Amino acid sequence: MTSTTEQRANELRQARSPFVLAVVVRAERPTSAKPGDRAIIHADGTIEGFVGGSCAESTVRIQSLRQLAAGESTLLRITPGGDSTGPRDLPGLVVTDNTCLSGGTIDVFLEVVVPAPLLQVYGDTPIARALVSVGSAAGYEVRIAPAPGPVPADALAVVVASHGHDETGLLAEAVSAGVPYIALVASPKRGAAVLAESGVPAGRVKTPAGLDLGARTPGDVAISILAEVVAARTGLPRPAPAPRAPLLQIGLAVPTPPEIAIDPICEMEVVVEPGALSYEHAGRTWYFCAPGCRKKFAADPARWGG
- As a whole number of angstroms, the distance between CA 86 and CA 79 comes to 10
> What pLDDT shows up at residue 157?
95
- As a whole number of angstroms, the distance between CA 82 and CA 64 comes to 23
**Structural contact between residues 131 and 227, judged by C-beta atoms closer than 8 angstroms:** no
Question: Where would I find the beta strands (DSSP E) of 43-117?
Answer: 47-49, 74-79, 93-97, 106-113
User: In this prediction, what percent of the chain has a pLDDT beyond 90?
Assistant: 52
Comparing 163 with 297, the larger pLDDT belongs to 297
φ, ψ of residue 135 to 5 degrees: the values are -65, -40
69-87: per-residue pLDDT in tens? 888 999 999 988 765 556 6
Q: What is the rounded average pLDDT of the residues 200-218?
A: 92
The winner for highest mean pLDDT among 111-115, 151-155, 273-277 is 111-115
Report angle CA 134, 137, 141 to the nearest 5 degrees: 90
> What pLDDT shows up at residue 69?
85
Closest CA to 209 of 149, 157, 135, 156: 157
Report angle CA 300, 303, 306 to the nearest 5 degrees: 80
Least confident of 143-147, 198-202, 247-251, 280-284: 247-251
117-157: per-residue pLDDT in tens? 999 999 999 999 999 999 999 999 999 998 777 899 889 99
Q: What is the rounded average pLDDT of the residues 205-215?
A: 93
- As a whole number of angstroms, the distance between CA 183 and CA 11 comes to 31
What single-letter amino acid sits at 151?
V
φ, ψ of residue 234 to 5 degrees: the values are -95, -5
Comparing 76 with 99, the larger pLDDT belongs to 76
Domains in the chain, please, with CATH?
A: 3-113 (no CATH), 118-249 (3.40.50.720), 260-304 (no CATH)
Comparing 160 with 30, the larger pLDDT belongs to 160
Strands 157-160 and 74-79: unpaired
Computed over every residue of the chain, the mean pLDDT equals: 86
23-53: per-residue pLDDT in tens? 999 998 878 889 999 999 998 888 999 998 8
175-187: per-residue pLDDT in tens? 999 999 999 999 9
Q: What is the DSSP letter of 36?
A: T
Q: Is the pLDDT of residue 293 over 50?
A: yes
> What pLDDT shows up at residue 206?
95
Q: Is the pLDDT of residue 254 over 60?
A: no
Question: To the nearest 5 percent, what fractions of the chain are helix, strand and coil?
Answer: 30, 25, 45
Q: Is the pLDDT of residue 257 over 70?
A: no
> What pLDDT shows up at residue 241?
39
Q: Measured in whole angstroms, how far is the alpha carbon of residue 278 from the centre of its chain?
A: 29
Strands 38-42 and 19-27: antiparallel
